[in-house]
């Protein structure tokens, strides 16, 4: 599990226009009633799931893959939000101070 989460941390969004992830659902061409509660996946979510899904399959977590994808994506969103919000004002100065203390 630790290796799976370490790989998930390394994810970065690609802004490559040629990136074409596999479709999340198959379409038959027939109109159907889409439930209003169904969420649309963002590009970041699709890329993240595509990246992390490979890692989970390599490590043998295919049986619980959906639950792990959801959990790791939620953790990724929280961590990314905290870095975006507090990175410059809190986190970077804190890490610089820690590095200076370790150098002494």
- For the chain, the domains span 58-104
pLDDT at 82: 86
Query: What pLDDT digit, counting tens, does each position of 51-97 carry?
Result: 888 888 888 877 777 888 888 888 888 888 888 888 888 888 888 99
pLDDT of residue 104 exceeding 70, the answer is yes
pLDDT at 36: 43
pTM of the model: 0.56
Query: What pLDDT digit, counting tens, does each position of 7-51 carry?
Result: 777 777 776 655 555 555 556 655 555 444 445 567 788 888 888
pLDDT at 37: 42
Compare 50 and 101 and report the one with higher pLDDT.
101
HSE of 87, CA atoms in CB hemisphere, 13 A: 8
**Which tokens in the block code for residue 59?**
């490590």
Q: Any residues with CB less than 8 A from the CB of 8 and at least 6 apart, and which?
A: 48, 51, 52, 55, 72, 75, 76
């Amino acid at each position: 599990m630790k290796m799976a989460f370490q790989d998930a941390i390394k994810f970065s969004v690609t802004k490559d226009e040629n990136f074409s992830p596999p479709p999340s659902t198959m379409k038959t061409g027939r109109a159907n009633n889409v439930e209003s509660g169904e969420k649309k996946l963002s590009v970041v979510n699709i890329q993240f799931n595509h990246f992390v899904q490979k890692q989970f399959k390599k490590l043998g977590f295919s049986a619980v893959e959906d639950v792990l994808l959801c959990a790791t994506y939620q953790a990724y969103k929280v961590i990314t939000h905290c870095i975006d919000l507090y990175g410059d004002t809190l986190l970077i100065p804190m890490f610089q101070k820690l590095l200076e203390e370790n150098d002494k």
